[in-house]
Structure 1
Amino acid sequence: MHDPDHRAVTLADVARLAGVGESTVSRVLRNQGSFSKRTQAQVAEAVASLGYVPNRLAGMLAGAHGTAGAKLVGIVIPSLGNVVFPDLLSGAASVLDRDGFQSVIGVSDYDPAREEALIGALLSWRPAGLIVTGLEHTDGALARLRASGIRVVEMIDTDGPGLDIVVGFSNRAVGRDSARHLLARGYRRIGYVGHDVTRDLRAGKRLAGFTETLTEAGMPLHDREIAAGASSAAAGRAALDRLLARTPGLDAVYFSNDDMALGGYFHCLAAGLAIPDRLALFGFNALDITAAMPQPLATVRTPRRAIGAVAAERLGAGGPREVVDLGYDLIPGATA
């Protein structure tokens, strides 16, 4: 994390904390030469305590090539299967390419431990900066990011404290505004269909904002159906089928995203349920395909490419920590 008063943790720092020489630390980290198990344990403890990441470039590149990592930017996203994240990458690439940087991308599959490993691997190349998704990370990932001495951008969520630069929007506010929209349209028996919110924490924040607003209005969420695994049209279709079989009197359903809502739309077509007269549908992300439906989906448009571009721009800028909230647009559509 960039801080004018905070430098990157070095091999010398590890050696000092472990009480051994730098050459000994180097041997232990490379697992070459002789050293005792006690020394190995001391070095490992110091590395974990300081969040130190070995510099791969130091052993591979020399002389004029020793700063090659300065033209690299690491990016960690949770998925490539959802168009949201390719859009973010597209926005970031437009700026990084212009400024002569190369991006190295890691995909965590919404697994915090995998994200931590990817962050460590990317930092070992000493990149100029790192872009990660969301605000929640493991303790190990946070230690590595704080010890890196580089700028870190967390994107697509502003609901919580950031490490350095935060670029995105409030997912909780998206949920609240979605609920207000449905209530203002007269819907009172509202359900929810979503994917695993314990993995996709931003979907969980939207659901929290949505349910809080309904409860405050005296219209608590009637029922919910959570599909196991990642979001998809197939998962949304099957989940809405299960939800309506259990709670047939619903008049509106809020979906965790447009992928799931598209599947819900297909279920309604197959079951002969009139939209929105019999059942209203509301999504999130404003995907091109849901805008092209015979009845365009009621949803929320997020500035994904702009988020990626601003994240890349802020990565190369000096200055203090900041939060850049780019907002979102509610799209009334024709399904709610």
Structure 2
Amino acid sequence: MDRRTIEEVEALTSTGTPKLADVARLANVSENTASRVVRNKGFIAAETRQRVNEAIEKLGYVPNRAAGSLASSSSMIIGVILPSLSNIVFAEVLHGIHAGLAGTPYQPMIGVTDYGLVKEQQLISSLLAWKPAAIVTTGLEHTDAARRMLEASRVRIAELMDIDNRPIDLAVGLSNREAGRAIARHLMQRGYSKIAYVGHDWLADRRSHARYLGLCEGLSEKGLALVAENRIDGPSSTLSGREALARLLVDGADIEAVAFSNDDMAVGGFMHCLAADISVPDKLALFGFNGLEIGQALPKPLSTVLSNRFAIGKAAVEHLLESAERSDPPKVIDTGFAIIEGATA
């Protein structure tokens, strides 16, 4: 594109919601052709289809799927995008969302990203096409195209679980970086100085990376650093936590305590200690994150951080429904966290 066209794109995305005519103009096709690409109707040359799709992405254009449906059905939708429903953390967030919507005419329309930003982008496009009253999504990181769609839509937007950066409209959650620092301070106050880390894929879970950075920062405040670390490539699980801790300890490193990326991983670490006859916390202290029920059901309750998942979901929808207008400036709601002392660290 030449510079004039780039400036036109920027003007469109900053002054109003892009229209189909804008897509057609940018792709240098008729509005009818652009419409057929959007609706996937009839034969369209591959090069033409590519130009139209590139224009759609650059503008953040979202087609109106609600046209022809009842206005009441579209206006009562709250789009909810979560990384997972098998992870109890996000099931509890959804429980909070349902509680916040109780007694209102609004209904959630739910999509699951499997922790993928491209998948999130696709879901945002699909949900916005139904003209929802609001979109609830997870985290503050999105693809450029997804962010343009969210910003251009002008519907209320809530980004959950993280407050460490500026939101589009409303952020509800906790500072994961500060939670990591709190873990470091707690372990050091308990007398541990040889601290290691066991975690999972940061690309899939960027909030765990923020906690890792906070953990390292907290240790550095006292002149310490991690003595060892092991991070698996895939998602977190109890089995992964067990295997990762076993690999961390195989070389006999001098470790007093291990901070895990979350409770799933920490529970697996506890299981390894049981199998390997490693006394917890006498020989090795373990610390998690999330405050899951399974961690508190262990023979020795897990030392961890409690994140207020139910409160995050409930507060988000309650604040979204207070006004149809976006927060100006964007608003941050800190639901906080708390240390669960437990018996493993």
How big is the alpha-carbon RMSD for the aligned residues of Structure 1 and Structure 2? 2.0
Give the one of 242, 247, 253 matched to 2:258: 253
Match of 1:134 in 2: 139
Distance in 2 between the 1:226 and 1:245 partners? 14
Structure 2 unmatched ranges of 5 or more: 1-13
Match of 2:8 in 1: none
Contact 1:74 1:122 in 2 (8 A): yes
Distance 1:17 1:66, change over 3 A: farther
Distance 1:196 1:40, change over 3 A: closer
1:47-196 to 2 correspondences below 5 Å: 47-58=56-67, 60-61=68-69, 65-196=70-201
Match of 2:53 in 1: 44
Shift of the alpha carbon at 1:42? 5.2
Contact 2:204 2:235 in 1 (8 A): no
Match of 2:339 in 1: 330
Shift of the alpha carbon at 1:73? 1.0
Structure 1 unmatched ranges of 5 or more: none
Distance in 1 between the 2:196 and 2:103 partners? 45
Match of 1:277 in 2: 282
Secondary structure, aligned partner of 1:166 = strand
Distance in 2 between the 1:163 and 1:219 partners? 36
Distance 1:294 1:7, change over 3 A: same
Distance 1:45 1:200, change over 3 A: closer
Distance 1:314 1:9, change over 3 A: farther
Contact 2:159 2:171 in 1 (8 A): yes
Give the one of 232, 240, 249 matched to 2:237: 232
Distance 1:184 1:16, change over 3 A: same
Aligned residue type for 1:274? S
The TM-score normalised by the length of structure 1 is: 0.91
Aligned residue type for 1:266? M
Match of 1:32 in 2: 41
The TM-score normalised by the length of structure 2 is: 0.89
Shift of the alpha carbon at 1:7? 4.3
Superimposed CA distance per residue, residues 201-237 of structure 1 (whole angstroms, 9 cap, x where no aligned partner): 0000000100122123122100101123111111111
Match of 2:6 in 1: none
Distance in 2 between the 1:264 and 1:45 partners? 47
Shift of the alpha carbon at 1:6? 5.7
1:206-245 to 2 correspondences below 5 Å: 206-245=211-250
Contact 1:157 1:167 in 2 (8 A): yes
Distance 1:198 1:16, change over 3 A: closer
Match of 1:198 in 2: 203
Distance 1:220 1:29, change over 3 A: same
Secondary structure, aligned partner of 2:91 = helix
Superimposed CA distance per residue, residues 170-190 of structure 1 (whole angstroms, 9 cap, x where no aligned partner): 000000000000011110111
Contact 1:73 1:131 in 2 (8 A): yes
Identity %: 48
Task: Identify the range of structure 1 (87-96 vs 239-248) with the bigger mean alpha-carbon deviation.
Answer: 239-248
Distance 1:285 1:25, change over 3 A: same
Aligned residue type for 2:320? L
Contact 2:176 2:210 in 1 (8 A): yes
The number of equivalent residue pairs is 328
Aligned residue type for 2:309? R
Shift of the alpha carbon at 1:333? 0.9
